[in-house]
Amino acid sequence: MSRLQALRKQLAAEATADAEAPTSLSDFAAASGSAAAAAAAGCAGAVTPVEEDTPRERKPTWLRISTPTGERRENLERLTTTVKKLNLATVCEEARCPNISECWGGKEGTATATIMLMGDTCTRGCYFCAIKTSHHPPPLDAAEPARVAEAIASWSLSYVVLTSVDRDDLVRAARAHPRFLPPPAAPAWRLRALCFAFSHPRLALVRAPC
């Protein structure tokens, strides 16, 4: 048999297989479980039917997110309203954290908020982060520290975390950003600062007891 005859025979076999294969979605669905369909598709033995009565493994309790109710819901709504009213940014919202209702609502008995300083736009584009990125973010807001203090005073939280975006475009100008000071009448609360280059004297944006 010449090479031309062998090629013609192969093309004829492929045409026959194509003619017998399902031509529509309904045909494919009807034949998807048959051995003949698998053989026609050239994947005989590669597809294992799924048993319908196979029990699905449930998520562990620590991975489930419960809907906040009662006091937790009130805490969540109170913090959300204040953040929008004072035009503040939080890493919880900007990074689209799925656990925001647990922290803000106080699932473990302590409502916690994480405020993000220097706006909502970062100069770095980390692949794992959902925060907005720009090489030239808006200028710093001189009134932001005062609004942060006002928010913390109104929340009466037990624990507050301060973090910030990276502003590589303002290494020198960031030193002029007003420092945050806790309000004089602030209740007993704990503060944790997670600011970038916090030990650098030029970038000391926060001065508060921890």
pLDDT of residue 105: 75
pLDDT of residue 80: 85
pLDDT of residue 162: 82
CA-to-CA dists, residue 86 to 75, 125, 149, 177, 204, angstroms: 17, 26, 11, 18, 23
**Average pLDDT score over residue span 160-183:** 66
On whether the CB atoms of residues 138 and 119 are closer than 8 A, the answer is: yes
Cα gap 43→39, rounded to integer Å: 6
CA-to-CA dists, residue 188 to 130, 159, 177, 210, angstroms: 33, 9, 26, 11
| Total-model pTM | 0.55
Q: Where are the alpha helices (DSSP H) in 132-182?
A: 144-155
Count CB-CB contacts under 10 A for residue 204: 16
